[in-house]
Amino acid sequence: MRTQISRCLWVLAVSALNLLADGFVYFGSQTAPTRLGTPEGPRAGTNILSQLLVGTEAGKLIPFGNPQVNFSGVFVVTPISVSLGNPGTLVLVQLAAWDKSEWGVSYTGVPEAAKGFTDVISYHLDSKPANPPYITFFTQPAVVPSSVPEPGEIALFFVWVVGICVFTKRQSTRGMSR
């Protein structure tokens, strides 16, 4: 009798712990490498960070885990603990990316216009097995907006430099004729 009560209490305790367990997202960008400027642009380097966003509604995704550094547009698949449900719970997942050299390492400090986003995908939260059975399969890369100056800005700069050179040349020529 005592053994049966102990077993029953053990089963209840394990069940209660499973109810409190977080699910995991195996977060990666191998299927849609992060790009710079355009979807066909160069792959992101180590100055670009990627942040996992998870939620139950598409417009209300929140960051989980720490930002990941990109290596040629991808990063190591990382298990991220998500407190939105147990393993098996269906959630929505998206990747956000930005340039840490301009905006720092905190997702919340980056303006929306400076972030690139993948598509939003459905994902069943995993338990934490040794070999992840399922990783995020994004179909659209996060495209980080380019911080390269517009061609018009470059052209104006060169016009300014030429103007300064011409003005300086005229001043030096006038000084020599006197």
Would you tell me how many other CB atoms lie within 10 Å of the CB of residue 160?
10
User: Which amino acid appears at position 131 of this protein?
Assistant: N
Spatial distance between the Cα atoms of 6 and 19, rounded to a whole number of angstroms = 20
In angstroms, the CA 84 to CA 22 distance is 7
pLDDT in tens for each of the 178 residues of the chain? 555 544 444 433 333 334 445 888 888 888 899 999 999 999 999 999 999 999 999 889 999 999 999 889 887 777 888 898 888 899 999 999 999 999 999 999 999 999 999 999 999 888 876 555 567 789 999 999 986 544 555 666 666 677 676 766 666 666 555 5
Beta-bridge partners for 97: 50, 116
Q: What is the 3-state secondary structure (H, E, C) of 6-29?
A: HHHHHHHHHHHHHHHCCEEEEECC
Q: Is the dihedral of CA 88, 89, 90, 92 positive or negative?
A: negative
Q: How far apart are the first and last CA of the chain?
A: 118
Helix (H) or strand (E) holding 163, with range, is: helix 151-177
Q: What is the pLDDT of residue 176?
A: 56
